[in-house]
Chains A and B, each alone.
Chain A
């Protein structure tokens, strides 16, 4: 996946976890929690969904890397290079 696709992948996951939140306008650099209502439980769900969809393991110590969309893309890029984007069913 490219950086853009990873951002899309994370947005897709956020959409399934927080369907009421408007994710179209999310920017890359502000913390996700400042842009939409996401709590620490939601971050766990994002991590679990990443594992399910892409087989990527994010250790607890690295959760902080996922704070922004840019952070997600940077952190996940090496893990997801060989994966295809999975679209929401």
Chain B
């Protein structure tokens, strides 16, 4: 069957018509179908494939990895989207669920720097250094700092006391907007949370993230995903791109499989790595849910989206050493929601020196901002183009302060907006980091609504980012494995 006139999603430029049937080699039945190839989907698929189950991953895009992705541009430029940094826990997670060929490539960033009107310094992003900054630079009492850490460490998912992060900060560091900035800014960028989100989400993320440095993957996202695909293949997992799941099919309260166009692939278990909202609002017909549950689940709010500016330096161009990760702002005072302002004053820069892709000798810079879908969604094409041009210009101006001749070094300049993220992942509102805290509950309750249907992916603030997504994939894999084992036990003749 030829579908050469059918342009698959992810081809807005219309240059990649899908030829042939992407699901040609797919079987009609699997133990597990995973919808989406984000890090949660891939990790769940790998664990389940390795455990001997028949597993298939269906990804609507032609590329794999979801937000963990990259793109190439003429002139030898390669840009990473979400490889700014992750916590040390990723090393262990990758070793356990993927193996040492991946975990051995995880290395610590050498430089993290802040520059804003309230403070300018480098940090190792370790507990020791944060203590040093809080005590010696900001003048906080070390007793208070220790008590703050202790409170965070003691927080766990089951005892949310309804406090906001702002209230937590006020309790320990009242009126210290500069301290709040140091403690919150990196986390707002990492998962889109704000001072108004529950303190519990802050506590859990802080304890994982701001404790032992920031880490990256040597070789770039392209190498990571290529290696993951090789491992999946060895574990017998079928992976298909250009396969848009249009529906998760359900029968008698139980999942039956997925429908891609006119083809249904059956499965005892479906893991949806699509966004939580897309899963419950678009992929499953509403009559399969309990009405009250669905109404409540639909109220789940999303985290923000992002904008990025990609700056590729020409071959032979050099960059002075600044940092690997640079948090900048010209706003006199901190306020976490304003990090997402349209044409705001705060942005991060990731400087990719040649060490990131050894052997290439190339430098790139990616600037990221948090962004609100509502600011970008309804712009006319011309206003949209103008807003992107302004974003690129503002970013170059901000970078010029630190690298005066940056304009003459950059040979490729491009930007993305919440619309780009929505387009490439189909996430509602282009959400970069899944849902607010309340979404975690609905994500985990999904199998109680529809037997055999699980959600896995960025959700609830605490389960987001590369580490959160991969770990959630492992948590889901464990549940799926338990279900398959109990189905097998039920089917076995009793002795």
Contact = CB atoms under 8 A, between A and B. Distances in A.
Interface stretch (A4-12, A49-57, A72-80): A49-57
B441 to A, nearest CB: 15
A47 B474 CA distance: 12
Contacts of A45: 96, 474, 478
B474 A52 contact: no
A44 interface: yes
Given A17-B96, A52-B51, A44 B475 contact: yes
B489 to A, nearest CB: 8
Interface in A19-75: 41, 44-45, 47-48, 51-52, 55, 57
* SS class, residues of chain A in contact with chain B: helix
B144 interface: no
Interface in B81-119: 93, 96
Contacts of B486: 57
B386 interface: no
Interface residues of A, number: 10
Given A44-B474, A44-B475, A48-B51, A55 B96 contact: no
Interface in B452-495: 471, 474-475, 477-478, 481-482, 485-486
A51 B93 contact: no
A48 B481 contact: yes
A47 B96 CA distance: 14
A11 to B, nearest CB: 17
Contacts of A47: 478
Contact of A55 (B51, B93, B478, B485): B485
A53 to B, nearest CB: 11
Contacts of A57: 482, 485-486
A47 B486 CA distance: 14
Interface residues of B, number: 13
B52 to A, nearest CB: 8
Contact of B93 (A41, A48, A52): A41
A19 to B, nearest CB: 8
Contacts of B478: 44-45, 47-48
Contacts of B474: 41, 44-45
Contact of A41 (B51, B471, B482, B485): B471
A17 B478 CA distance: 14
Interface centre among B51, B474, B482 (most CB of A within 10 A): B482
A83 to B, nearest CB: 15
A9 to B, nearest CB: 18
Nearest to B486: A57
Contacts of A48: 47, 51, 477-478, 481
Contacts of B93: 41
Contacts of B482: 51, 57
Given A17-B96, A41-B93, A51 B485 contact: yes
Nearest to A17: B96
Nearest to A45: B96
Contacts of A17: 96
B28 to A, nearest CB: 27
Given A44-B478, A47-B478, A51-B481, 8 more contacts: A41-B96, A41-B475, A44-B474, A45-B474, A48-B477, A52-B51, A55-B485, A57-B486
The 4 lowest CB-CB distance pairs between A and B, nearest first, are A44-B478, A48-B478, A51-B485, A48-B481
12 contacts: A41-B93, A41-B96, A44-B474, A44-B475, A44-B478, A45-B96, A47-B478, A48-B51, A48-B481, A51-B481, A51-B485, A57-B482
